[in-house]
Amino acid sequence: MFSKEEKKSTNELSQTSNIIGKSTVLDGSIESGGNIRVEGKVHGNAKAKAKFVMGSDAYVDGNVVARSGEVAGKVNGNIEISELLILKPTAVINGDILTNQLVVEPGATFNGGCKMGHLAKDIVIEIPESRVTEK
């Protein structure tokens, strides 16, 4: 189905990590073919083809889409996780959750609707033509 070259680049992308540090504020959305870890603040949407992780002091004001997720911070927006979503004791979610599996640890706060058993779908990361650089 995939050539060796395509498999290699897909595996490399899924293993990349992007970190929004504790003292960092991002005004805008972030999309990654790999993992995203937020320790600071994101005012916009976050989309990861792999795992999305939030620290206990992290804040996202926007929607989150990822294959799997672990949230310990605050999210004001909807969360769509294709596989497993874990809400840690310090998590505060104000929005709807759509996921296949959900673990809510004691202490987590969730205000919104939840749909589970949703079929995993492919997460598409679109790069606008104006941002594509030629080699």
pLDDT by 10-residue block (mean), the chain, 135 residues: 50 73 95 95 96 97 96 97 96 96 96 82 66 56
The pTM for the full model equals: 0.80
The answer to whether residue 132 is domain-embedded is no
Residue 123 has what pLDDT?
A: 73
The answer to whether residue 112 is domain-embedded is yes
Three-state secondary structure call for residue 7: helix
The answer to whether residue 127 is domain-embedded is no
Structural domain containing residue 25: 4-122
The answer to whether residue 89 is domain-embedded is yes
The answer to whether residue 130 is domain-embedded is no
The answer to whether residue 131 is domain-embedded is no
At 95-133, the pLDDT tens digits run: 999 999 999 999 999 999 999 886 556 677 776 665 555
**Domain tally for the chain?**
1
HEC profile of 16-38: CEEEECCCCEEECCEEECCEEEE
Residue 102 near residue 83, CB atoms below 8 Å? no
